[in-house]
Structure 1
């Protein structure tokens, strides 16, 4: 069935037609001599330079916002790039570590092995691998996604529907994988740390053939660690192999595959209760865990891809990618629900369950890009199409003893009999399909003024059911237009403006168990981008505003369940400012600084999503100590303002009937590092995290009867010894 919101569709089509019709006329009106756009390479380069080859905190061109390689000042949106050097300096070994240090991104760890991400107040569900968009089945990541395979991570904030399907106004996260090198390179890094952490990663790259026409790379790793949480432990195994072959002087074939397992014993499913029945806040030891001693959560990800790139005449390039991602999850989990009594600490109940999940996704993406002349000027064009299919199958097998009373958490040691999981079965089996065509142009209007316009047409189709409810929806030819302007004030500074429309299908259910209609809205951004010290330092000042209609808002739970139902709310606005400074300040000092202010309001002008911090700041840097060759010192601090969440009303004590509000005061987490090249090709790096031993709740995203959370890591340390050839 077709559920396209007709008024919004007509408005989008009209806007797109105006943009496409007017730009060629503007360009044709220019009578200057043909001018090539600066910093855009149209020669037969195999690929852009990797960040690991530079050792820098800045990166070259990015492709996340569109398939063109755009420099810092050429992209009319705020972009953060976390390079390999930053990851290595501060032992950012999983994606949570990386995104936690990214401007404007909040990592919502609601459990140990399931994580949500937000930017500008909204969930991030646009992810890419090497610029190829991957439809999100769920708005979360299960298990720990290791960074050993990645050269860098690019994050474009704001709506990016042109390259990632629907226009979600949060951010797009692009994982850029390591690629083979022509020269032989090898490294081994061994890490030991707090809570019996053990880690080893090996990386070998070089030419496979004598001519260098075939190149390969292998990355393999293993990690095993316990935790500050009682009974919790995690074991990871990682493998990544990639092969490049120059079939001709202009044809490049790339084959790659990666596998990662993340096996956890005694994980948190849910977390700790945040308040008592009288409304007062709980305050457990950081090590407290609700997990049983038999529970586990094993996640495996298989990621395969084939790329064929062809250089064409006139500086054009065509590329096709076939990409397969499979996620398998097997678990036996133990959840504790209910609200404890403030005096007796009793009141929690058992909820054991087995849960299996399999998600298989195929993506095919093809495009061509290159320059063309119009109106005596040189412009660039991207034309492409994509297709994807996501098949999701999961099954919940409920355990005996659901609702059994449990001892107080301060007496809980995880000792609970493993039940039979034959108390009912439910699950899902559905398929999402998406087909899209897209086009984008980069128009040289004058020597100083550049415009970028784009349009994506998307067909979405879902069939199947989830826990007895239909998943059947269909949207035809939904258009997502994009427009941006960049004006170069001089050789070092540019101002920009961009506009993107939003169309985001929702999976949330209303009180009648019907899916909510899609979110519709617009995203605006204004900014100033600058480059200093011969482009070694980049800065960004961005002002943004997002207006959305029919945003899901939880209003209750279905009777007899913990599952929330929602309503669509109109007039939700997010606005704010982002500041970023990144670069190699001197030959000895590297810095990254980011600050975000975001204000989220509902249609009545009241504050919304109070669990998202209004203020978020990061600062990290390293200093090569003069006089002591090979010694580098560094620090990293992450600060956020206070957050809160309304949790319903107190049911006992003098505050019975009063609204319960859980609060987390503002806090800062300070990390330190020291690195020393103690011999040729050898390095030792010490990382000390949360040196002030700050105690804080990881997330307040969950609310009401599901209101649970747990505490972040206390002070800890790790030492990495690496050999690099």
Structure 2
């Protein structure tokens, strides 16, 4: 905390010296039929001030020198409108609603014809709880928009999303079952619409057909959670009705028999616009570059929103995801000769093995009530039910000559979660201080049951060799498992039950000084957690503080500093009989954010340091029958992150990022481990995705995309082992494509891994290595039509 005091004094001095008397303006733009007009440019003539309207048609321009100005409203293909406005020092001027001459459908058509998209969006979802622009939040938060996902032909969260965020890597992915995303030396918690749905295995990775955008929050987020990894979280925001009648149908074809179709319908169910709907439907079949491997899915996601009154809206949402895939262990390769020593398409899988089938249901009710112009209440409840029937694979042994013994094990699972949340957002004024207040209550319970204790060998010693091309049928045949007992009975016998229940109360006040140019965040959260992990029950009660400081150097630039805490309850048995302490995490962070050219693109630079205490390892004095743990001390993760996203010049969109990460054991009961790297990150991580669309002439609508992903000095999935083990090589992948858009039709053709590089990630295990390889050069062609 002492490190923050000089920054606080510096920010206060800068604010008082640099700013003259300024004011703000805000307003709303609608279409001729009364619907909100989104993505319309709002600028002050003869100045650099500007912004785009959000989904509600609202805009706000801040910290403008007092005086008379002219607002200019424009969008390519529409008539430009202007309106005079007077800005007074220390006040927010409300501009009367401006109505465009076009209807909502006409506006949508103009935006499609113009090829307009948003790589950069400064407005967060309501489910992130923070009712303010990203630039004013004292934390590194990155938003991956639907436009970015569409241009990259992303189909699920495990399908290249992380290239759009600095420092993110994906580990232990088990195909497309779930997206385990790491950043800042640990696992990011998985959220959907503001609810923490993270589990040991899961949740089923979201299909992008019903995803609006994804919000990545780096570091602890006391306004969202405090019982979670201090590295951060990602929040998947699903599509909701917009009040504009529109739709889109798409078809996607790709390598390895990939076929996918989706439809997105958005509109009104009543003439008065009080009852709205959104409906997304997707179906796909997909094979693999490895034989005997497939992944077929479909999803259904209807949403109904009803405006109970001018102040109150109730939204009901249901999501069903179905997946049927081959045995998930087939993604692994094993060899004693080192990484990449087998062909890229090597597989352990055999034809005829039973598939893994998953049904994933989610029902959410959300109520939003505008108490007054400055206060809003949100309440939501959600139920998740995940059911899995299937199996996995591994090896019992791998010899240097290639002889291996494979085994298949049952993997049936149930994951049921319930969440309830109520939170209040508001603004108030006390003297010259503006307050942004957030108060909330979180309730949650999760239960994961699994049977993975039945296993059958496929091979006898010497009957299967990883180097043998024609290996024949498994020696012991295809296994079948006993499911005569219920999953609960099977899981209970073997102790494979993981559950957690928690209650969290939090309050946050962001105090704005000097007309909100200097912002001090004071917050705290009290969390009570109880969990059962493999018959070991632990409890934890903890208060975690949050202190942030943010200052606007000018309307486009802000600097910030943050101190935040979190904790993670742990399970285990100590030899001394003492209770296992939770992992506690502290995050200190400073950063710089800047919007360029009226918000068309922005940059974020962040420096951070995270300490995690009380990590568990096995007690080195254990006998063969003992499973005691010791809590070895502390890990320290430090790094730098840089993100750039937006429209650099008309038609040229860019997402680029770089992260330097250093994560090591800083204190340990085992002295020799101090200084060892923590597994699961890349020291250097760089990404870029550039898209250019020709604006004029005979080739108008033709575009090109190009992107790369680089990871250098990678650590493995597991804790580092003995010296002399192979290190993972650096990773570089080049992707690109062409697209064409005219009227309501868009055609996109992307090629991935253009250089056809053998790419993989993995770890040493016993006397051999295992890894998961990626496909070589492959392609996708997408056709979409908006109506």
TM-score normalised by structure 1 residue count = 0.85
Instruction: Supply the distance in 1 between the matched residues of 2:738 and 2:251 (Cα, whole angstroms).
Output: 16
Instruction: Supply the distance in 1 between the matched residues of 2:144 and 2:232 (Cα, whole angstroms).
Output: 15
Aligned residue for 2:705? 634
Residue by residue over 1:438-473, the C-alpha shift from the partner in whole angstroms, topping out at 9 and shown as x without a partner, is 11111112232111121111111124x62xxx2312
Q: Secondary structure at the match of 1:86?
A: helix
Residue by residue over 1:629-673, the C-alpha shift from the partner in whole angstroms, topping out at 9 and shown as x without a partner, is 1111111111110324498999xxxxxxx7341322212101112
Q: Secondary structure at the match of 2:155?
A: coil
Aligned residue for 2:691? 622
Deviation at 1:350, TM superposition (A): 2.7
- Of stretches 61-70 and 508-517 in structure 1, the one that deviates more from structure 2 is 508-517
Aligned residues: 674
Instruction: Supply the distance in 2 between the matched residues of 1:238 and 1:172 (Cα, whole angstroms).
Output: 24
Q: Does 1:445 align with 2:516?
A: no
Deviation at 1:274, TM superposition (A): 4.8
Deviation at 1:506, TM superposition (A): 2.5
Aligned residue for 1:687? 750
Aligned residue for 1:92? 154
**Of 266, 289, 296, which aligns to 1:235?**
296
Instruction: Supply the distance in 1 between the matched residues of 2:688 and 2:628 (Cα, whole angstroms).
Output: 39
1:132-143 matched pairs, under 5 angstroms: 132-138=194-200, 140-141=201-202, 143=204
Deviation at 1:334, TM superposition (A): 2.9
Aligned residue for 1:196? 257
Q: Secondary structure at the match of 1:659?
A: coil
The structure-2 alpha-carbon separation of the partners of 1:142 and 1:390, relative to structure 1 and needing over 3 Å to count, comes to closer
Deviation at 1:507, TM superposition (A): 4.3
1:128-527 matched pairs, under 5 angstroms: 128-130=191-193, 132-138=194-200, 140-141=201-202, 143-268=204-329, 271-276=332-337, 280-281=338-339, 283-293=341-351, 294-341=353-400, 344-346=401-403, 348-401=404-457, 404-405=460-461, 406-411=463-468, 415-416=473-474, 417-421=477-481, 426-447=494-515, 448-463=517-532, 466=534, 470-476=535-541, 478-507=542-571, 516-527=580-591
In 2, are the aligned partners of 1:325 and 1:361 still within 8 Å (CA)?
yes
Aligned residue for 2:61? none
Residue by residue over 1:461-494, the C-alpha shift from the partner in whole angstroms, topping out at 9 and shown as x without a partner, is 124x62xxx2312223x11111110011122211
Instruction: Supply the distance in 2 between the matched residues of 1:263 and 1:66 (Cα, whole angstroms).
Output: 32
Instruction: Supply the distance in 2 between the matched residues of 1:229 and 1:243 (Cα, whole angstroms).
Output: 41
Deviation at 1:415, TM superposition (A): 3.0
Aligned residue for 1:81? 143
Deviation at 1:374, TM superposition (A): 1.4
Aligned residue for 1:24? none
Structure 1 segments unaligned to the other structure (5+ residues) = 1-11, 19-28, 651-657
In 2, are the aligned partners of 1:40 and 1:70 still within 8 Å (CA)?
no
In 2, are the aligned partners of 1:162 and 1:480 still within 8 Å (CA)?
no
The structure-2 alpha-carbon separation of the partners of 1:559 and 1:178, relative to structure 1 and needing over 3 Å to count, comes to farther
Instruction: Supply the distance in 2 between the matched residues of 1:558 and 1:381 (Cα, whole angstroms).
Output: 51
| Structure possessing the higher relative contact order (Cα contacts under 8 Å, 6 or more residues apart) | 1
Q: Secondary structure at the match of 1:338?
A: strand
**Of 168, 171, 188, which aligns to 1:108?**
171
Residue by residue over 1:215-249, the C-alpha shift from the partner in whole angstroms, topping out at 9 and shown as x without a partner, is 10100010101101121011000110001111111
The structure-2 alpha-carbon separation of the partners of 1:532 and 1:118, relative to structure 1 and needing over 3 Å to count, comes to same
Deviation at 1:115, TM superposition (A): 4.5
The structure-2 alpha-carbon separation of the partners of 1:205 and 1:490, relative to structure 1 and needing over 3 Å to count, comes to same
The structure-2 alpha-carbon separation of the partners of 1:548 and 1:50, relative to structure 1 and needing over 3 Å to count, comes to farther
**Of 583, 599, 602, which aligns to 1:535?**
599
Deviation at 1:513, TM superposition (A): 11
Q: Secondary structure at the match of 1:550?
A: strand
Residue by residue over 1:285-339, the C-alpha shift from the partner in whole angstroms, topping out at 9 and shown as x without a partner, is 1100112321422222111100111111252111100111111111123322323
Instruction: Supply the distance in 1 between the matched residues of 2:424 and 2:273 (Cα, whole angstroms).
Output: 27
In 2, are the aligned partners of 1:63 and 1:70 still within 8 Å (CA)?
no
- CA RMSD in angstroms comes to 3.5
Instruction: Supply the distance in 1 between the matched residues of 2:743 and 2:527 (Cα, whole angstroms).
Output: 54
Instruction: Supply the distance in 1 between the matched residues of 2:390 and 2:495 (Cα, whole angstroms).
Output: 14
Instruction: Supply the distance in 2 between the matched residues of 1:550 and 1:80 (Cα, whole angstroms).
Output: 30
In 1, are the aligned partners of 2:639 and 2:660 still within 8 Å (CA)?
yes
Instruction: Supply the distance in 1 between the matched residues of 2:417 and 2:167 (Cα, whole angstroms).
Output: 29
Deviation at 1:718, TM superposition (A): 0.9
The structure-2 alpha-carbon separation of the partners of 1:453 and 1:39, relative to structure 1 and needing over 3 Å to count, comes to farther
Structure 2 segments unaligned to the other structure (5+ residues) = 6-15, 29-34, 39-53, 58-107, 484-489, 668-673
Instruction: Supply the distance in 2 between the matched residues of 1:623 and 1:557 (Cα, whole angstroms).
Output: 61
In 1, are the aligned partners of 2:221 and 2:232 still within 8 Å (CA)?
yes
